[in-house]
Amino acid sequence: MTGIDATSVMYIIEIIIGGLLVAIGVHFVPVGGAPAAMAQATGVGTGTVQLAAGSGLTGLLAAGLMMKMTDDLLLIVASGAVGAMIMIDATMVVGNWVYIYGVGAPPASAKVNYDPITKLPQPPYMAPGTVGQGIPTVCYVSGTIGGLLGGAGGSLIYFALLSINGNPGLSGIFAIGIFLVNAVLASWNIQGTIEGFHDTKFKRWPRVLQAALLASAIIGVMAVMITGGA
Amino acid sequence: MDAFSMGLLAAMGALATVAGASEDIESDVGSQSNPNSQVQLAAQVGFPHRIYNKAISGEPPSNALWCAVAAGTAMVLIEKFAMPALLSIALGAAVAALFNGVFSTTAYMGRNASQARFNQYVFLDVLRTHTTTIMAHAWITAFCITCISYIMAYVLPMTHPFPMPLIAMIWGLAVGAIGSSTGDVHYGAEREFQNTPFGAGLNTMDSGHIVREAEAGVRSSIDNAWFCAKFGGPATGMAFGLTVFLDNWRATIFDPATQGVLVVATGVVIVIILNIYNKMLENYARKKYGPYPEYKGDIEA
């Protein structure tokens, strides 16, 4: 166990910023939950936390490797962000393969009449009795941004923890824990499904900012105190 | 970049592809993850069935558990008992498969027993034949991912700083997230509802009306694995293989110690290419299938 000094406060702030990035990033990830698995709703057919954690922690692996080679914060965080984006993008592309070739349905958003990026009309391509399916361009771009923020957040948390204790295993597992707390908080705010930044639910993000700020601050202090002695 | 690293990277990509495919088929045989909601609902709306029902948890946490158990066991055998790596990983995966068997059995019996009031039975022959199939696929997933973790932690010239079980846990979580997002859609949206026309997702009115007849006789979950192994499983393998390969490729062709910026820039280029490809895919689908004829709104296609 170690005391809290000025350096520790800086690391706690980094953990808080990382937590906030994760919480906001989850709001960008287009997930349709169980209905999307039956092509009944737009987005990826899984849960918010599941996909955000899958991509964010893949980014953590990339950041962990980079931090072994350099102590440049920007490079480490960028490497984590890019790793997460690659995972979520590969997943969404293959997800669209399944919707298009396996189910035979074109991607369509149910939340907007026209895709804000491509301007393509959406309602005529929505299957009857469903609220959209697949991952149209706006959702895809939103998911990429979500991966970027989640990967960057997770990497920043890992950077702070490893700077304190120098133990990659301990820092990695704590980073996963802090990541999941913030992802779950965001998931409660979303209440199940969200299409991305064009979804009306996205406007709820200021609420989760407050919750994540509080949770990350408490966990940040605990994590620094516990892992500091390792 | 050297030939040895590239060879290992290729092996990791191939192992990841197999792991992804087996993970998806394991979840299809067991009917885990999101499509399970329809299996669970089926008996309640008057369609009792012989589909295996084991929603232990979301796929990412359960696969993270299997892979971490396999890698943890393998690491103990390698480091404390000096056993050969391949044998240790195989034994670790066997322990993970046993864990999987316990969870699968309790989940199947618990879920079906709780639906007795809807005439949903616990079929002991289904339990006997399917549980072993599920365990076998879980063994393959755990074995492949532990091999990837072993290569990353011990074999690559630039070893990963994380301990092997932690790497396996993260890849297990990722393969579960990918399987849940890709291959499961083939099972949930297509295989479970082959009684509805091809070309659309499940109409809300048809919820729970899952197909219970097989190509011959009564449909079991092994029939579902046979179907999903043709597309959903390999697609999941492609997604996980792409993730493992592309993520590690950029750190192999450039040296992260001296060319960190290039490692990141290569990743950004990959992300941009994937975004463009997705747009092309969307255009293809809209052109190929066209708008739904049932649409009566004002917006022109």
Tens-place pLDDT, residues A197-228: 999 999 999 999 999 999 999 999 998 888 77
Q: State the count of interchain CB pairs (< 8 A) between A and B.
A: 308
Supply the range of the domain harboring residue B271. Answer: 254-290
Residue B85 located in a structural domain:
yes
Chain A contacts of B276, Cβ < 8 Å?
Answer: none
Tell me: pLDDT of A47 over 90.
no
Q: What residue of B is the nearest CA neighbor of A158?
A: B162
> Are B39 and B187 found together in one domain?
yes
Chain B contacts of A169, Cβ < 8 Å?
Answer: 162-163, 166
State how far the alpha carbon of A183 is from the alpha carbons of A25, A208, B102, B152, B177, in Å: 9, 10, 29, 27, 14
Residue B296 located in a structural domain:
no
> Are B146 and B285 found together in one domain?
no
Which of A37, A40, A86 is opposite residue B184, by nearest beta carbon? A37
* Residue A222 β-bridge partners: none
Q: From the candidates A29, A46, A145, A165, which should be mutated to test the interface with B, based on the most B CB atoms within 10 A?
A: A46
> Are B165 and B272 found together in one domain?
no
Please tell me the distance in Å from B210's CA to the nearest CA on chain A.
11
Chain B contacts of A64, Cβ < 8 Å?
Answer: 160-162
Query: What pLDDT, on a 0 to 100 scale, did the predictor assign at position A230?
Result: 43
Q: List B residues 140-159 in contact with A (Cβ-Cβ < 8 A).
A: 158
Tell me: pLDDT of B153 over 50.
yes
| Euclidean distance between CA atoms B77 and B92, whole angstroms | 9
φ/ψ (deg, to 5) at B218: -90, 140
> Are B163 and B263 found together in one domain?
no
Radius of gyration of chain B (CA): 21
Which of A53, A99, A124 is opposite residue B60, by nearest beta carbon? A53
Total H helices, total E strands in chain A: 7, 0
| Own/partner long-range contacts of B150-153 (Cβ < 8 Å, ≥24 apart) | B150/B71, B150/B74, B150/B85, B150/B89, B151/B8, B151/B11, B151/B12, B152/B12, B152/B248
> Are B156 and B190 found together in one domain?
yes
Which of A89, A113, A127 is opposite residue B292, by nearest beta carbon? A127
> Are B169 and B245 found together in one domain?
yes
Residue B298 located in a structural domain:
no
Q: What residue of B is the nearest CA neighbor of A127?
A: B200
Please tell me the distance in Å from A143's CA to the nearest CA on chain B.
10
Residue B301 located in a structural domain:
no
- Helix or strand (DSSP H, E) at B238: helix B232-253
What percentage of chain B exceeds 90 in pLDDT? 88
Q: What residue of A is the nearest CA neighbor of B61?
A: A50
Instruction: Write out the two tokens for B103.
Output: 């969870």
* Residue A194 β-bridge partners: A31
φ/ψ (deg, to 5) at B297: -80, -175
> Are B281 and B190 found together in one domain?
no
Torsion from C-alpha of B141, B177, A87, A139, nearest 10 degrees: 150
> Are B262 and B235 found together in one domain?
no
Average pLDDT for A48-73: 92
Query: What pLDDT, on a 0 to 100 scale, did the predictor assign at position B1?
Result: 65
Q: Does the beta carbon of A126 lie under 8 angstroms from any beta carbon of chain B?
A: yes
> Are B258 and B245 found together in one domain?
no
- Mean pLDDT, chain A, rounded, equals 92
Spacing of C-alpha B196 from chain mean position? 25
pLDDT tens track for A97-140: 999 999 999 999 999 999 999 999 999 999 999 999 999 999 99
Q: Which amino acid is at B236?
A: T
Q: Does the beta carbon of A168 lie under 8 angstroms from any beta carbon of chain B?
A: yes
| CB within 8 Å of B260: residues ≥ 6 apart | A66, A69, A70, A72, A75, A79
Which of A53, A58, A123 is opposite residue B247, by nearest beta carbon? A58
Query: What pLDDT, on a 0 to 100 scale, did the predictor assign at position B39?
Result: 93
Q: Does the beta carbon of A29 lie under 8 angstroms from any beta carbon of chain B?
A: no
Please tell me the distance in Å from A73's CA to the nearest CA on chain B.
12
Sign (positive/negative) of CA torsion B229, B231, B232, B237? positive
Task: Judge: A128–B294 Cβ closer than 8 Å, yes or no.
Answer: yes
Residue B38 located in a structural domain:
yes
Chain B contacts of A123, Cβ < 8 Å?
Answer: 295, 297, 299
> Are B229 and B143 found together in one domain?
yes
pLDDT band at A2 (very low <50, low <70, confident <90, very high): low
pLDDT tens track for A14-25: 999 999 999 999
> Are B186 and B278 found together in one domain?
no
Sign (positive/negative) of CA torsion B199, B205, B210, B212? negative
pLDDT tens track for B253-280: 998 888 999 999 999 999 999 999 999 9
Query: What pLDDT, on a 0 to 100 scale, did the predictor assign at position B57?
Result: 86
Residue B106 located in a structural domain:
yes
Task: Judge: A98–B185 Cβ closer than 8 Å, yes or no.
Answer: yes
Burial of A185 per CB tally in 10 Å (0-12, 13-18, 19+):
buried
Which of B35, B174, B192 is opposite residue A57, by nearest beta carbon? B174
Closest CA to B232 of B287, B285, B189: B189
Residue B199 located in a structural domain:
yes
> Are B280 and B195 found together in one domain?
no
Residue B300 located in a structural domain:
no
Average pLDDT for A46-62: 91
Which of B33, B163, B190 is opposite residue A102, by nearest beta carbon? B190
- Work out how many domains chain B is built from and give that number: 2
Q: What residue of A is the nearest CA neighbor of B243?
A: A87
Task: Enter the DSSP assignment of A106.
Answer: -
3-state secondary structure of B50: coil
